[in-house]
Each structure stands twice: as C-alpha cells, then as structure tokens.
A and B are shown apart, each in its own frame.
Chain A
Amino acid sequence: MLLDEINKLEEEKKVIETKDKEISEILKKEMLLKTELSEKMTSLKKKQDALLVEEKRLQECRRGSLK
C-alpha cells in the first residue's frame, strides 16, 4: 500500500517538475520581452523629446523665415 502510494507520489513529482521547468522557461522569455519593451519605450521617449525639440526649432525657423 505504502509503496504504491510512494510510487504514485514519485510519478506526480516528475510531472510537476516538468511543468515547473516549462513555466520557468516561459517566465524567462516573458521577462526578457518585458525588458526589451521597456528599453524600446525609453528610446521612443528619447526620440519623442528630440522630435519635440526639433519641431520647436523648425517652428522658430519658419516664423523667422516667413517674416
């Protein structure tokens, strides 16, 4: 009886361990993706700042040149 129970538990452990490995891999990938997306967002914000500066500069140029 006890031996049967132990065997069952061993089987269950194997299944859960496999599941744990899988979820760990997926989690790792998602974490990487999150980092990538955050970096992309930061660079986009920098680009936005640069574009705003450029827009302001060009508008000043336009005002100056259209006078």
Chain B
Amino acid sequence: MTKIIFLISVITFLFLCEPFADENIHNILSDLSSPERLEWNDFKTREIEKLKLKNKISLLKKIHFDLKNELIKLKQEVYFKNSEHDKITKENIELRKETNVFLTELSIKEYEIDNIRKEILEEDIKFGRVRCDKFEIHAELDNNNSTISISINTDLPKSTLVNITINRMFVNAEDNQKYAIDYFAKKVTVSEWEKTRSITLDQKKWENQFKSQIINYRLEGKKKDIDNLKFFNVTDIDNYVNIYTEVSMDQSDERFGNRNKNLVGQLVTTSEESKTVRNITKAYHTIDANKLINTQPPLYKHNEPKSQREAPLFDCYYIGYKYGRCATLLTKGKNCDLESDKMLTIPVSCRGQESTERGISAGVFSAWYSFPD
C-alpha cells in the first residue's frame, strides 16, 4: 500500500514540473540566435581569414626573396663564366697563332734538312758510297717467350745483306767469359725484315744444345794442346736473348765494295780491312734460365774414348767462333790466348760453310760483348 502511494506522488510531481522544463530550452535557443552572438561569430571567422592571408603573404615574400637571391647568384655565375670564356678564347687565339708560326718554322727546318740530305746523297752517289746512319732493331718476346718479333729500321739499301743471330749466353767461371748458344742464325736482306718477322724460339732445342755444348767444351777443355780453356764451370745463364745483327761483309750489291769499303755513316765501325754496322738488342726472358745449371751433364773423365774428345775439333761452328772472337779481340787491342794457335786459320773444309759463318758471328759478338768500347 505504501509503495502504491509513493508511485502516485512521483507521477504527480513530474506532471506538474513539465511546463517549466520547456521554458528553459526555449531560453537557451533564443540566446544562440541573438544578434550579439552572430556578430561574435563573424568577427572570429574574419580574424581567422586575416591570419591565413598574412601567412600566405609572408610565404610569398620569402619565395620572392629566395628567388631574388638565386637570380643574383646565377647572374654572378654567368658573368664569371663569360669572363672565363673571354680569357680562354683570347688564350686560344694566341696559341693558334703560336702554333701556326711554329708549323711554318718547322716546315722551313724540314726543307733545309731535306736539302742537306739531298746534298749528302749526291755526294755519296758521286763518290760511290753507301751510307748508314740508322740501324735500329725492334725486338719483342711474346708472353710465353716462345716467339720473338723482329724488324729492322735502317737507311741502308733494301738489298743490303744482314746477318741475324738470336742467342742466349752463359758465363764460364773458369775463364770468366760469356759463350753463346744460338736459337737462330741467318743471312737476310733488309727488304725482307723491314716488316716484322716472327721467329719461334725452341727452348728445348736450346737447352739440349746447352747441355751438349757443356759436354763439348769440357772435352775441349781437357785438351790443353788446343787452347787454354780448362773446365767449363757454368755459373750464370742470361735471362734475356740477344739479337745480334751485323751488315754482312760479303754483299751482293757492288756499291758496297770489297768488304764494305764504301760503307760510310755514323754507325759504321771500321777495322783495318773491313767496315760494318752492328747492333745488339736484348729481349728479356721470363723463364729462370739459371735452373738449367742444375741439369748439367757429368764432368768429362780422362779415360773417355779419344774420338769423343776430338769431335769438337772438327766442328766448323766452333772453329769459326774461335776465329771470330780472337780476330775481334786483336782488332780491339786485347790479348788473344789463341794468337799462336793453328785454329786462327780456318781449315779449307770449313770455309764458306754456313756453320762457320754463324760461328764467326757468334765469336765476334762474344768479343764485342765482353769489350764493348
């Protein structure tokens, strides 16, 4: 019962209060749409707009300022480049002038030199001389050291005969002399070798020759009645090959005269009876040739058959070598141990032989190499 009475009183209260609540909401709404309120809102919007504009203007001012600065820098740069261009253009004009003057001077000089050359040539023709002022050998080993490219650059006639020997040397500690073993030896003409020629260097063949040469020399060395050579004690093998070239004494071109007596020029070396031009060029090997020393054959023993010991005596190459070396040493004013030896004369059987010629060349080369001055 009490509960029912409480519920009825609450409902009655709410019913009585309803008109007052409506009036409050109405009041609030009428305040928002009042003229003061609207004016305040307008003012706020305008202020925000103003601020936005101000920001925009300051940004534009900054862009303007930056642009102006950039332009100044660009103008300065262009100005600098322009002045640099002017300077270089002037320098180039001067250089061009200088080059032209130089070219003219050089042309005059070349003309003068040509005239001197002609004059000399006329003189040479008049007196029947053959001139040699240039005798250059270009030699280059390939990467494997198996081929050598050689060319001759000379002012000698194209028909000139030239002896070319490619060899490598070893030192004999017994007499402190160098001895050569050939890879190649031939008489060629200048015209054939003006263009680069490739020669195969047979290393195996050289090594075999080296070993047999040691045997031979040791055999010879034992025969004291032949020469003063004792044992061959190889201490060093050159790590380069020599390209020895020499204008042959026996020219087919008659202009050279007997034993090249008509040969003249700065490079010509003269001995009492003959004239020639020589050149030694080295081409370096990458193979360590000294390894070969360890592969020497056993020393010669006294009780070996006589026929073996005497065999080298009849080797025309060896006789030619001794002859060439001794003759060159004598022309150089040096002592030759073999002066009184019968080997200074070449036996009839060896005369005109290719091996004798090669031996003479190698001997001359050996002496020339030992005493270059």
Contacts and interface: CB of A to CB of B under 8 A. Distances in A.
Interface of A: 2-3, 5-6, 9-10, 12-13, 16-17, 19-20, 23-24, 26-27, 30-31, 33-34, 37-38, 40-41, 44-45, 47-48, 51-52, 54-55, 57-62, 64-66
B67 A16 contact: no
Contact of A23 (B61, B78, B112): B78
A61 B120 contact: yes
Given A12-B71, A65-B264, A30 B109 contact: no
Given A23-B81, A23-B85, A31-B88, A16 B116 contact: no
B63 interface: yes
A21 B98 CA distance: 31
A5 B117 CA distance: 78
B85 A58 contact: no
Chain B interface, >50% SS class: helix
A3 B61 CA distance: 9
Contacts of B133: 57, 61
Contacts of B103: 44
Contacts of A44: 99, 102-103, 106
A9 to B, nearest CB: 4
Contacts, number: 105
B117 A58 contact: yes
Interface string B47-70: 000000000010011011001101
Contacts of A54: 113
A19 B78 contact: yes
Contacts of A27: 81, 84-85, 88
Contacts of A23: 78, 81-82, 85
6 contacts: A13-B70, A45-B102, A48-B105, A51-B106, A61-B133, A64-B264
B99 A57 contact: no
B265 interface: yes
Given A2-B57, A54-B113, 16 more contacts: A2-B61, A6-B60, A9-B67, A38-B95, A44-B102, A44-B106, A45-B102, A47-B106, A48-B109, A55-B109, A58-B113, A58-B116, A58-B120, A61-B265, A65-B120, A65-B127
Nearest to A55: B113
Interface residues of B, number: 46
Given A20-B78, A44-B106, A37 B99 contact: yes
Contacts of B64: 2, 5-6, 9
Contacts of A59: 116
Q: Which of B74, B77, B98 has the most CB of A within 10 A?
A: B74
B81 A20 contact: yes
Chain A interface, >50% SS class: helix
A22 B264 CA distance: 63
Given A5-B64, A65-B123, A65-B124, A20 B88 contact: no
Contacts of B112: 55
A41 B91 CA distance: 13
B315 interface: no
Contacts of B98: 41
B113 A66 contact: no
B110 interface: yes
B81 to A, nearest CB: 5
B250 interface: no
Given A9-B68, A24-B81, A41-B98, A34 B91 contact: yes
Interface string B127-161: 10101010000000000000000000000000000
A16 B80 CA distance: 13
Contacts of B71: 9, 12-13, 16
B235 interface: no
B74 A62 contact: no
